[in-house]
Amino acid sequence: MTISKLSASEQEATTDAVLAASLKSQQEKGPSLRQIHPKSHGLVWGEFIVENNIPDAVKVGVFAVPQTYPIWVRFSNAGEAEKRGKFVSDKEPNARGLAIKLMNVQGEKVLDDEDETQDFTLINHPVFFVRDVQGYIDIAKVASGQADPDLVKAMQPSFAILQETGSKKVVNPLFIQYWSTTPYNLGSQAIKFSVKPQQEAVSDSISYSDDYLREATVKYLTDEGKDAFFDFLVQLYVDEEKTSIENPMQEWKEEDSPFIKVATIKIPSQKFDFDERKRLDEGMSFNPWHTLPEHEPIGSVNLARKKIYQELAKYRREQIQKRLREPQPFYFIKDEPH
């Protein structure tokens, strides 16, 4: 496996630059909201059922023995909020996020802010839009019109991926497939993972409001009383050419590394569209580094996420605490439902 083009000091300096920019944006737009993925279509509970008959090679970490973990699952839009209480409409182009938190996971964890969780984060496209954390800085530079023509040209593939990701038609977050895009360890091997719905997409009677993705999820899980099921799949690393570790803009093709089903996600019919659940959602922290060492995230993009997610979630939770400790007038917090 080749290593990142960035040296360790470049990786660190670039991560700090992204963190500083993200923190500034979070402070300005909504200190107690996630800087990206702020808009939730629902925080729902369910079960993560590790299958009985999986190949020995993937019986590692949370997949080591067949068992059922309780989970929280959060569906989101990636785009930043304009401000607190004002989210981008679901009708606008956007990447859709899926975050899963397994609980009752025994064993030492990489971070120490949660003891018994294992998180998985995914988006609805097989590739990520930048190669490494430097790309995250570069694309922002181009978007703000501050880049020289060479950089503008170099970043075209990133904009193409963003456009492709954002333009997918989504009728319900329960009907689409999600991918990790970046690689993770599975013991001594490397994998990517994906979450694929079992239910067929139906688009009858959808009215495309600004919040139609939450409405569609409520309709399915609450009003119609249906359960949702997903397959949790992994793909094994083959070699750097076919299954690149350091370039998450490159897809791991199924013909090079077929998906192996390791678990079933069950989301039972439930009520979840109420204020107290939204508060829990707002304060929860999903972080790919909430993990057993066996599933440690790898590659430049994932490495950067360690400090960024931890620091931003810490700040976000402090702001939520502050809001509770010292009540603020409504006109100040603009605490609209979302």
Residue 250 binds ligand HEM, judged by CB under 6 A: no
d(CA 170, CA 135): 27
Question: With respect to ligand HEM, which residue has the nearer C-beta, 14 or 257?
Answer: 14
Helix (H) or strand (E) holding 29: helix 8-29
Residue 217 binds ligand HEM, judged by CB under 6 A: no
Residue 308 binds ligand HEM, judged by CB under 6 A: yes
Which residue in the set 99, 105, 162, 176 belongs to the binding site for ligand HEM (CB under 6 A)? 99
Which residue in the set 35, 124, 257, 291 belongs to the binding site for ligand HEM (CB under 6 A)? 35
Question: With respect to ligand HEM, which residue has the nearer C-beta, 36 or 262?
Answer: 36
Instruction: Judge whether 129 and 179 are in contact, CB under 8 Å.
Output: no
Question: With respect to ligand HEM, which residue has the nearer C-beta, 62 or 122?
Answer: 122
Residue 185 binds ligand HEM, judged by CB under 6 A: no
Which residue in the set 122, 176, 213, 265 belongs to the binding site for ligand HEM (CB under 6 A)? 122
- 8: tokens are 């360790």
Which residue in the set 4, 14, 22, 134 belongs to the binding site for ligand HEM (CB under 6 A)? 22
- As measured in angstroms, the least distance from the Cβ of 204 to ligand HEM is 28
- 24-37 residues labelled b (16+ CB within 10 A) or e (exposed): eebeebbbbbbbbb
Residue 245 binds ligand HEM, judged by CB under 6 A: no
Question: With respect to ligand HEM, which residue has the nearer C-beta, 81 or 304?
Answer: 304
Crossing angle (nearest 10°) for helices 300-325 and 8-29 = 30
Residue 247 binds ligand HEM, judged by CB under 6 A: no
Question: With respect to ligand HEM, which residue has the nearer C-beta, 182 or 217?
Answer: 182
Instruction: Judge whether 246 and 15 are in contact, CB under 8 Å.
Output: no
Residue 118 binds ligand HEM, judged by CB under 6 A: no
Residue 71 binds ligand HEM, judged by CB under 6 A: no
Could you tell me the maximum CA-CA distance found in the chain, to the nearest angstrom?
58
Residue 127 binds ligand HEM, judged by CB under 6 A: no
Is 154 exposed, middle or buried, given 0-12, 13-18 or 19+ CB atoms closer than 10 A?
middle
Residue 176 binds ligand HEM, judged by CB under 6 A: no
Residue 73 binds ligand HEM, judged by CB under 6 A: no
- The beta strands (E) that lie in 147-188 are given as 178-179, 184-186
| CB closest to ligand HEM, residue no | 97
Please, what is the Cα angle at 176 between 175 and 179, to 5 degrees? 150
Under the phi-then-psi rule, with left for phi > 0, alpha for psi from -120 to 50, and beta for the rest, what region is 145? Answer: left
d(CA 181, CA 223): 33
Please, what is the Cα angle at 223 between 218 and 224, to 5 degrees? 110
Q: How far is CA 188 from CA 59, 107, 117, 260, in A?
A: 12, 17, 21, 17
Residue 172 binds ligand HEM, judged by CB under 6 A: no
- As measured in angstroms, the least distance from the Cβ of 129 to ligand HEM is 9
Question: With respect to ligand HEM, which residue has the nearer C-beta, 214 or 316?
Answer: 316
Count of all residues that appear for the chain in the document: 338
- 2: tokens are 């080749």
Residue 316 binds ligand HEM, judged by CB under 6 A: yes
Residue 233 binds ligand HEM, judged by CB under 6 A: no
Residue 295 binds ligand HEM, judged by CB under 6 A: no
Instruction: Judge whether 135 and 14 are in contact, CB under 8 Å.
Output: no
- 174: tokens are 């329960």
> Total binding residues for ligand HEM by CB under 6 A?
30
Binding site for ligand HEM (CB under 6 A): 18, 22, 34-37, 74, 76, 97-99, 121-123, 128, 133, 136, 180-182, 285-286, 301, 304-305, 308-309, 312-313, 316
